[in-house]
Structure 1
Amino acid sequence: MPQAPPFITRFLLRLRRWADAGWSNSVVFGWGLLQGGIFPGLADLFFLPLALARPERAYRLALVATAGTLIGSVVLYWIGAEALVLLEGPVARFFDFSPDVFAEYRTRLAQYGAWAIFASTMSPLSTKLTSLASGAIGVPFAAFTGALLAGRLTRTFALAWLVRHGGAQAVARWTHVPPA
């Protein structure tokens, strides 16, 4: 197997020091919160490297990352729900949407909206727009939260499983840095 470039090896060793400093949970939670609600970017930006640095913590970091993104997304959902007043009022009149059209959308979203939200969490794309739109269009809060939680847990636990069952060892072989 070809050897990793030296900067990758140095980066992995630095990640281990950061993970051992005791603030990895805070960083993963904070980034999840900011990414779920404000900043664009991958939700797994800190979770995955820190899990690779300390694979024994992968599942705990998956839970922490999920909690952060869930809270950030729920905030966006409520912002979208507040925007619903504008959508049903002046914007609806401008585009000639009747209250019946909104009622039809809500019925359809109550049936299928959770699947769309779940699918959005599986992609590497941000769920910010999905969260805002879910609130604005009126996806039921329980369906939104359940689908978001199920999707995020599925994604982060699948990544944690990969880290624990081969990913961390593959990185250690490639960088010639012994596993943690």
Structure 2
Amino acid sequence: MLRNLYDWTMSLADHPRALWALAVVAFVESSVFPIPPDVLMIPMILARPSRAWLIALVATVASVLGGLLGYGIGYFFYEAIGEPILSSLGKAHAMEEFNVRFNGVGFWAVLIAGVTPFPYKVITIMSGWTAMPLATFVVTSIIARALRFFIVASLLRAFGTPVRDFIERRLGLVFTGFIGLLIGGFYVVRFM
């Protein structure tokens, strides 16, 4: 079953509308979707290494735009939903303290979440929720997401064939490692 899913993803990666699919996945992953765009981006680059920079650029732009949606969710819906709940629990002051602390390190939080497997959507929503300056959020998101996607693109472009051979020979191990990173990211979010 895993082999069939891999083969299907590789065929989708070479589809004429693959860039649009990547843009949609990168956009929604930045605010609500649990699957990172790497799942589609990596096979797309492996299938067509000559398009690595274009693929990374599409993922970066769509991810930052999706991050703005996440920021908006946190910014506009915190007052309607989050604040009344915290006030009823007598915790509104705790949120104000958290906002100050988060925004003090917000640049680094966005940068780290944007580059690592840490769920970026958590930081996009929290950035809006804490009213991080929008310019700081956008600039940091562009830097972080470009770093992440262009590093992956560079590595795959340079070492694509051996990487593809490794993945195809050890598909179960690669899948297990990816799931481990995903679970680790959720674990970090829970205890952060």
User: Could you tell me the TM-score, scaled by structure 1's length?
Assistant: 0.77
User: Which structure features the higher share of helix residues?
Assistant: 2
Q: 1:44 maps to which residue?
A: 38
For 1:41, what is the secondary structure of its paired residue? coil
Q: 1:62 maps to which residue?
A: 56
Deviations 1:121-154 (A, max 9, x none): 1221321111111111111111111111111100
Gaps of 5+ in 1: 1-6
Q: 1:170 maps to which residue?
A: 162
Deviations 1:50-109 (A, max 9, x none): 11111111111011011222122211111111133245556246334449x72x555544
Matched, 1:74 2:65: no
Matched, 1:94 2:92: no
Q: 2:21 maps to which residue?
A: 27
Q: 1:11 maps to which residue?
A: 7
Gaps of 5+ in 2: 170-192
152, 164, 167: which one pairs with 1:159? 152
Matched, 1:118 2:111: yes
Q: Do the aligned residues in 2 keep the contact of 1:80 with 1:134 (CA within 8 Å)? A: yes
Give 1:24 shift. Answer: 1.7
Supply the AA of the counterpart residue of 1:137.
T
For 2:114, what is the secondary structure of its paired residue? helix
Sequence identity (%) = 25
In terms of Rg, which structure is larger?
A: 1
Cα root mean square deviation, aligned: 2.8
Question: Would you say how many aligned residue pairs link Structure 1 and Structure 2?
Answer: 164
Give 1:170 shift. Answer: 0.5
User: Could you tell me the TM-score, scaled by structure 2's length?
Assistant: 0.72
59, 71, 77: which one pairs with 1:83? 77
Deviations 1:24-70 (A, max 9, x none): 21111011112222211222111111111111111110110112221
For 1:147, what is the secondary structure of its paired residue? helix
121, 126, 136: which one pairs with 1:128? 121
Q: Do the aligned residues in 2 keep the contact of 1:59 with 1:160 (CA within 8 Å)? A: yes
- Of structures 1 and 2, the one with the larger relative CO (CA 8 A, separation 6+) is 1
Supply the AA of the counterpart residue of 1:69.
S
Which whole-Å CA distance do the structure 2 matches of 1:82 and 1:21 have between them? 37
- After superposition, the Cα gap between the structure-2 partners of 1:98 and 1:55, relative to the gap in structure 1 and judged at 3 Å, is same
